[in-house]
Chain A
Amino acid sequence: MARKLSFRGAINEALRQEMERDKTVILMGEDIAGGTNAPGEQDAWGGPLGVTKGLQPIFGPDRVMDTPISESAFIGAAIGAATSGLRPVAELMFVDFMGVCFDQIFNQAAKFRYMFGGKAQTPVVIRCMIGAGFRAAAQHSQCLYPIFTHIPGLKCVVPSSPYEAKGLLAAAIRDNDPVMFFEHKLLYDVEEDVPEDPYTIPMGEANIVREGSDVTIVTLGRMVSLSKDAADLLAKDGIEAEVIDLRTTSPMDIDTVLESVENTGRLVVVDEAHPRCNIATDVSAQVVQNAFGALKAPIKMVTAPHAPVPFSPALEDLYIPSPEKIAAAVREVHAYA
């Protein structure tokens, strides 16, 4: 039976159900319980935005571990535990802090299966928060999934809604490769119908969230709902946009994108990440290489500017792609003769 659940609640439920299903699933991170083994309340925090709240009382401090404030240490420990039989889900708060543990992720976790000739596996999931709009300034607001998408050996998931988050996280935890799981902060309070039963959404399968025959919009994460809003605006002017949620950037389901572009001939890619070497450039390059003949207009990208996320609320609002900006790009591509 489906009932309304928030993005935050959906992630919490996926963690709980996977921990019930498989005793080797453990959680690690800074303040994910917020008090474990300290005097007083044991589940004070549940992570900085309360996503893991309530799990420590169910599974205990051995499976829900508060770690020291040392990303290089606990991400390394999670990867090590994954190579020796556990399925850790490590929470690294903000993706902006990844810099201190790149070696563990890029050069260790991502390489083990390859360098040990397929004999090693690293079933770790690293969860983190992404995205602007939270008034958290330049060091807590980036969308750095393109950096991880660049690395062979990592899988990258950017969920767009509560239903998507629950099924994709369950799939990530059951996967035998390292998976980066990027949660947009502004989605945590978004609600929709989510089944109570556990389920998985396969990685590498894009989702057509709206059908249309005039222009294809390819997007991911929080930009999916903004792109749907843009499509609603455009529909009033008789422009039918098809909106594709990539769901995962690695593996990427480029076939669904190509099929749509072959039908519409026009493409807008919407990505909240900085515009250089991001998912929009990647999708654009693959479409140009594989479906050049189908294109009736130049591809347009709608992204944040190549600049740090501003602290000024007025500037931050301007920085993020909006339905109006997306609709304007679609109109331009649509009008191109």
Chain B
Amino acid sequence: MTDAIQSVVMPKWGLAMQEGTLTEWHISEGDTIAPGQEICDIETSKIANALEATISGTVKRLVAKPGDTLPVGALMAVVVNGDVSDAEIDAFVKKFEDEFAELMAKAEASAPKAQSVEIDGRKINYLQMGQEGPAIVFIHGFGGDLNNWMFNQPNLSEKHRTYALDLPGHGASGKAVGDGSFAMLSGTVVKFLDAVGIDKAHLVGHSLGGAIAIAVAQAAPAKVASLTLISPAGLGSEINMDYINGFIGAQRRNDMKPVLSMLFANPELVTRDMVNEVLKFKRLDGVEDALKAISGSVFAGGKQANLLRDALAAVSVPVQIVWGTEDRILPVSHADGLGGNVTVTRAPNVGHMAHMEIASEVTKLIETAAAS
């Protein structure tokens, strides 16, 4: 039986990831693993994260050693179901390694690539992963992009059609945002659902993207199956303007690094590459003007301009909120006193980026919401 032997390979987190370093195994040879279990820690040039198993079986061989830096797709471990001899495993490992180059060339050719649609005369860039199952749409926050979901989207794409989009003025989407109004942002997402042929979607929004998700549910309730909101905006007037203005103003690494550190409970998660990627985005023509326009509109006078607590209470589909208790951008207290269909998870030792800081927990919550 060929599928009695399965492989654990170096994952691809985000479009740019080429290789990763195995820092620690959480499993030993002989252990039984199940999908969703964290099996090892992997560090990329951007960020460190735990890898979850997507298969079940007995760990027969740990091919990669802690400290190894391997290309995406490289064999890290062999997992078996039933009786398999050492000789068969040797043959499997050898075959995998012999065919690796060809396999990678094929994977490269069929790897999901960002696409775009035109909405209101503006290019909207998005990444679709997974062709079947209920739709999940990811909406990033102020200054973010579709890569913010790199730890969540690949796993969820196994059973869902997932879409992560770049909001106007962000990522590789058009940078002309006009007045940068909240209505323009949420209107774009509503039109995006139509443009890519989504009848109904589970919306996942982070920060400003969370407020946008609420507004989409308000404007087009028939199109929304559930809401998962991570540190959402729109539930109180406070916002850390030191972060917003710092992000808009920082032109250099030394200025940007402390700004990005505010996002995470553990500032060490901010790597040199993360800072460089953000600076690369900020150097694009039109980005500074776009961010200023959006900030001037949605955070006018240093306060959140769009309060959506009533709108959220009126949402009839299930709503869950995940909020890090160490969030320094939007206070976790904004999650207090929400009635209706809202479930709130307050995550200790987590900052503003729960979907990255505790990626596997957030992925599970999204999966549960999308299954109901």
**Number of A residues contacting the other chain (C-beta, 8 Å)?**
16
Most chain A Cβ neighbours within 10 Å, of B16, B252, B286? B252
Expressed in whole angstroms, the minimum distance between the Cβ of B256 and any Cβ of chain A is 12
User: What residues of chain A lie closer than 8 Å to B286, measured between beta carbons?
Assistant: 197
Please tell me if the beta carbons of A197 and B16 are within 8 angstroms of each other in the complex. no
Stretch at the interface among B73-81, B182-190, B277-285, B332-340: B277-285
Contact B172 A1 (CB under 8 A): yes
Check if B283 sits within 8 Å of A211, measured CB to CB. no
Give bound CA distance, A33 to B284, whole Å: 29
Is B55 positioned at the interface, with any CB of A under 8 Å from its CB?
no
- Residue in B16, B251, B280 with the greatest tally of chain A CB atoms within 10 Å: B280
A280 to chain B, nearest CB (A): 24
User: What is the CA–CA distance of A208 and B114 in the complex, to the nearest angstrom?
Assistant: 29
- A225 near B: Cβ within 8 Å? no
A 193-207 binary contact with B (CB < 8 Å = 1; else 0): 101111111100100
User: In angstroms, how far is the closest chain B Cβ from the Cβ of A332?
Assistant: 27
The one of B116, B251, B252, B284 that contacts A195, using a Cβ cutoff of 8 Å: B284
Would B16 and A193 count as touching, CB distance under 8 A? yes
Q: How far is the CA of A94 from the CA of B25 in the complex (A)?
A: 54
Taken together as a complex, chains A and B put the C-alpha atoms of A197 and B253 apart, in Å, by: 21
Q: How far is the CA of A163 from the CA of B281 in the complex (A)?
A: 12
Chain A hits for B283, CB < 8 A = 167, 199-201
Question: A168-198 toward B: CB 8 Å interface, digit per residue (1/0)?
Answer: 0000000000000000000000000101111
A199 touches B251 (CB 8 A): no
The answer to the question of B65 belonging to the interface, with a C-beta cut-off of 8 Å to chain A, is: no
Alpha-carbon separation in the docked complex, A167 to B284 (Å): 9
Query: A199 and B284 in contact (CB under 8 A), knowing A205-B252, A208-B253, A208-B272?
Result: yes
Nearest chain B CB to A212 CB, angstrom units: 11
Interfacial chain A residues near B325, Cβ < 8 Å: none
Q: Which residues of A contact B114 (CB under 8 A)?
A: 1
A195–B280 touching, CB < 8 Å:
yes
For window 123-148 of chain A, which residues contact chain B by CB distance below 8 Å? none
Bound form: Cα–Cα A198–B175 in Å: 11
Q: Of A197, A202, A208, A211, which contacts B172 at CB under 8 A?
A: A197
Choose among A1, A193, A198, A208 the residue that contacts B285 (Cβ–Cβ < 8 A): A198
Residue interface bits A152-176, CB-to-B below 8 A is 1, else 0? 0000000000010001000000000
* In the complex, B125 has a CB within 8 A of chain A: yes
Min C-beta distance of B258 to chain A, whole Å: 15
Which of A197, A205, A208, A211 is within 8 Å of B284, CB to CB? A197
Cβ-neighbour of B272 out of A163, A202, A211 (below 8 A):
A211
Interfacial chain A residues near B116, Cβ < 8 Å: 1
Contact of A197 among B251, B252, B272, B285 (CB under 8 A): B285
Q: Which of A1, A193, A200, A208 contacts B125 (CB 8 A)?
A: A1
Q: How far is the CB of A14 from chain B (nearest CB, A)?
A: 12
State whether A199 touches B285 (Cβ < 8 A): yes
Q: How far is the CA of A196 from the CA of B175 in the complex (A)?
A: 13
Evaluate contact between B251 and A202: CB separation under 8 angstroms: yes
Looking at the assembled complex, report how far the CB atom of A277 sits from the nearest CB atom of chain B, in whole angstroms: 29
Closest to A201 in B: B283
A200 touches B285 (CB 8 A): yes
Chain B residues, CB < 8 A from A163: 280
How far does the Cβ of B334 sit from chain A's closest Cβ, in whole Å? Answer: 34
Which residue of chain A is the closest to B166 with respect to CB atoms?
A: A1
Contacts of A197 in B (CB 8 A): 172, 175, 284-286
B323 to chain A, nearest CB (A): 32
Contact A198–B251 (Cβ < 8 Å): no
In the complex formed, the residue of B with least CB distance to A17 is B285
- Beta-carbon contacts of B98-136 to A below 8 Å, as 1s and 0s? 000000000000000010100000000100000000000
Rounded to whole Å, the gap between the CB of A208 and the closest CB of chain B is: 7
Give the residues in chain A near B252, CB-CB below 8 Å: 205
Most buried by B among A196, A197, A202: A197
Instruction: Tell me, in angstroms, the Cα distance from A236 to B215 when the chains sit together.
Output: 53
- Please, which residues of chain A bring their CB within 8 A of the CB of B16? 2, 193
In the docked arrangement, what's the CA distance between A211 and B286, Å? Answer: 30
What residues on A are CB-neighbors of B284 within 8 Å? 195, 197-199
Chain A nearest CB from B369 CB (Å) reads 30
A194 to chain B, nearest CB (A): 10
* Shortest distance between the CB of A309 and any CB in chain B (Å): 34
Nearest B residue to A196, CB-CB: B172
Nearest opposing residue in chain B for A171, CB measure: B283
Other A-B contacts than A195-B280, A195-B284, A197-B175, 12 sampled, CB-CB below 8 A, are A1-B172, A2-B16, A2-B172, A193-B16, A197-B284, A197-B285, A198-B284, A199-B285, A200-B283, A200-B285, A202-B251, A211-B272
Query: What are 13 contact pairs spanning A and B, CB under 8 A?
Result: A1-B114, A163-B280, A167-B283, A193-B16, A195-B280, A196-B172, A197-B284, A197-B286, A199-B283, A199-B285, A205-B251, A208-B272, A211-B272
Task: Enumerate chain B interface residues (CB-CB to A < 8 A).
Answer: 16, 114, 116, 125, 172, 175, 251-253, 272, 280, 283-286
The 3 tightest CB contacts between A and B, nearest first, are: A1-B172, A199-B283, A199-B284
On A, residues with C-beta under 8 Å from B are 1-2, 163, 167, 193, 195-202, 205, 208, 211
